[in-house]
Amino acid sequence: MFRSLLLLPALIVSSYALISAVDSSSLVPTATYVKAFGEGFTKAIIRGYEEACGVGGEVDPNFVGSYNNARAAGYTDIDTYWFPCNGSGNNCKSYATQLAELGATFNAHSMKIGTIWIDLEKDAAICNNWNYGTAGNQAQAQSLLAAMKATGFNFGIYSTPGEWSTLFGSTSFVLDSSAPLWFATFNNVQTLTLGTHFGGWTTAVGHQYTDTSASGLFDLSVFAN
């Protein structure tokens, strides 16, 4: 999902005010965050939990370091995302345990996190997650969502129309269309327009519009102000 700033040519920009954001899954130095913040990317999203299917899921080893570096660079609007461990061939911790480990990290490091984004996408190459079949995947998603709601954390969902169809058999499957949606379409268009509706959503609060950046450490998004 997440890779790579700093500024790209020929971007199509919307005419209304949006918040520009960077997201990362690797350790980002303070200096890189400082540069991004100075260019107007005032929101940061950092992977907090990774599938790490060999150990059943784990808090991302880079999470705390990147968070501290972002704070040092001046970021106060910081979200995280959860890439859950699942898959019938993996000995994954329960969804509740994965979230408890993430929450314990927040507490241990006095982290101020706005939203936890649930990353719903297939990883066939490494962990072969979401391999329960259409009905099984839908049931897993519902279980995952229930575990998230039980935490009381603010949450949203990250996915794409293509990933949604791959996981759940159709773009029409509705998991929770009342949850905020952050979607990816790498078209370099900085708007929130959801061209292909899926999951019951007709609008979104965030759009990841490119996975390319000069630093090589960020993907870039826009969010509703």
Question: Band of the pLDDT at 16, cuts 50, 70, 90?
Answer: low
148-194 confidence digits (pLDDT tens): 999 999 999 999 999 999 999 999 999 999 999 999 999 999 999 99
Q: Which residues pair with 19 in a beta bridge?
A: 223
Reported as a single tens digit per residue, the pLDDT across 49-92 is 999 999 999 999 999 999 999 999 999 999 999 999 999 999 99
Instruction: Give the C-alpha separation, 144 to 147, whole Å.
Output: 5
| DSSP secondary structure of 4-21 | -----TT-EE-SS-EEEE
Three-state secondary structure of 178-217: CCCEEEECCCCEECCCCCCCECCECCCCEEEEECCCCCCC
Q: Is the CB of residue 197 less than 8 Å from the CB of residue 188? A: no
Q: Note the pLDDT of residue 5.
A: 37
Instruction: Tell me the average pLDDT across 134-141.
Output: 98
Residue 155 burial (C-beta neighbours within 10 Å; 0-12, 13-18, 19+): buried
Backbone angles phi, psi at 70, to 5 degrees: -65, -45
**Which runs of E-coded beta strand occur in 83-163?**
116-119, 155-159
More confident of the two residues 76 and 3: 76
Provide the pLDDT for residue 215: 86
pLDDT band at residue 17 using 50, 70 and 90 as cut-offs:
confident
Residue 27 β-bridge partners: none
Domains of the chain: 19-223 (3.20.20.80)
Q: What pLDDT, on a 0 to 100 scale, did the predictor assign at position 15?
A: 46
What is the reported pLDDT for 183? 98
